[in-house]
Amino acid sequence: MARTPIFVKYLVCVKIVETLRVELHPIHCRLYDYLAQHTETLPSRKGTKKALRKNRILLNGKIASGAEFVHTNDEVIVLEEETIVKKVFPMLLQVCYEDEYLAIVVKPAGIPTSGNYYKTLLNALPHNLTQSAQADALPCPLPIHRLDRPTSGLILVAKTYSSRIELGKMLEQRAILKSYLAIAHGQLSGHGSLTSDINGKMAKSLYNCIHSFHTKRFGWATLLELCPVTGRTHQLRIHCARLGHPLFGDKTYADSVPTPKDKGLFLQAFKLSFAHPHTEEEIEIKLPPHNKFHWLQKN
């Protein structure tokens, strides 16, 4: 049964979330480095770069690039990120965990996490989650990481500003463990790591072969558990393809091998484990394999 939507519609609302007054500071310190050391509202260096790129940082009342040098008594203002839900997408989501600070939901395959679309996970969150009663509640719950459009599975969502910051730091420190189930073409065994660069950046994935099986229509296949150590776009799909064992249903990196029609990508974010940033409770959420994984083993 659908919940009554808590959030109905949002307009762009930009407000100040943090003001810093530069105290006596060593010379030749650029704003970007100063923010990385002193701000409490930007979750990471990556978040700082993003805020600068989106013109959310003001230095003495002017939009900053981050390359400026800061001086004693300079005023630095961090503006709130624009959160726009043009219209709530009333799609029911599986909610695996929810409290006042965060939630864990299941993203269906074929739906983007966010973006300039109506049918996104972001726009569906208000229909499925209740607004936090905390003083620093976000106006709209925000996913703290993404899954590719064809990938299904668990996504961690922040409901307060402080949770967003802490979870962002945990992601950067690799304190949130994400595991995926996948089915790859061919026979594999054992476990190991894949470390080839992606777009010039170091990328590392861990794999563990659960078991191989033979299908009548598609030959040999292997059920894998995959763990991304880094977070590059399409990382797991690219690494498996480079290994010579592309994933079933991967239209981008496995177009030369037979694959089931209309079943999508055989990649599922099935497990999340981390320490709750506010209660320190150890949380582990695990999904059963998607039905299509069982279907393939019978075909």
Provide the CATH number for the domain around residue 262.
3.30.2350.10
**Does any domain span residue 125?**
no
Higher local confidence (pLDDT), 97 or 46: 97
Identify whether 238 is part of a domain.
yes
- Asked whether residue 136 is assigned to any structural domain, the reply reads no
Indicate whether 84 belongs to any domain: no
| Two tokens, residue 251 | 């239209």
**Does residue 246 lie within any of the structural domains?**
yes
In a domain, 286, yes or no: no
Q: What is the pLDDT of residues 246-269, one digit of tens each?
A: 999 998 998 778 888 889 999 999
Residue 136 has pLDDT above 90, yes or no: no
pLDDT at position 6: 40
Alpha helices of 17-160 — where are they, by DSSP H?
31-38, 45-53, 121-128
Residue 98 φ/ψ, nearest 5 degrees: -160, 135
Within 8 A by CB and 6+ apart from 156, the residues are 102, 103, 104, 143, 144, 145, 167, 176, 272, 274
Told to judge if 136 belongs to the known catalytic residues of this protein, a careful annotator would answer no
Nearest to 184 by CA among 265, 109, 128, 127: 265
Q: Quick one: what percent of the chain has pLDDT higher than 90?
A: 58
Q: Which one is catalytic: 74, 148, 197, 262?
A: 148
Range of the domain at 199: 178-269
Count the Cβ atoms, other than its own, within 10 Å of residue 258.
12
Radius of gyration of the chain, Cα coordinates, nearest whole angstrom: 22
Q: Which two tokens stand for residue 159?
A: 């409901």
Report yes or no on 204 lying in a domain: yes
Of 111 and 75, the structure prediction assigns the larger pLDDT to 111
pLDDT reading at 120 higher than 80: yes
> What's the total number of domains in the chain?
1
Would you say residue 251 lies in a domain?
yes
* Closest CA relative to residue 122, chosen from 82, 166, 154, 85: 85
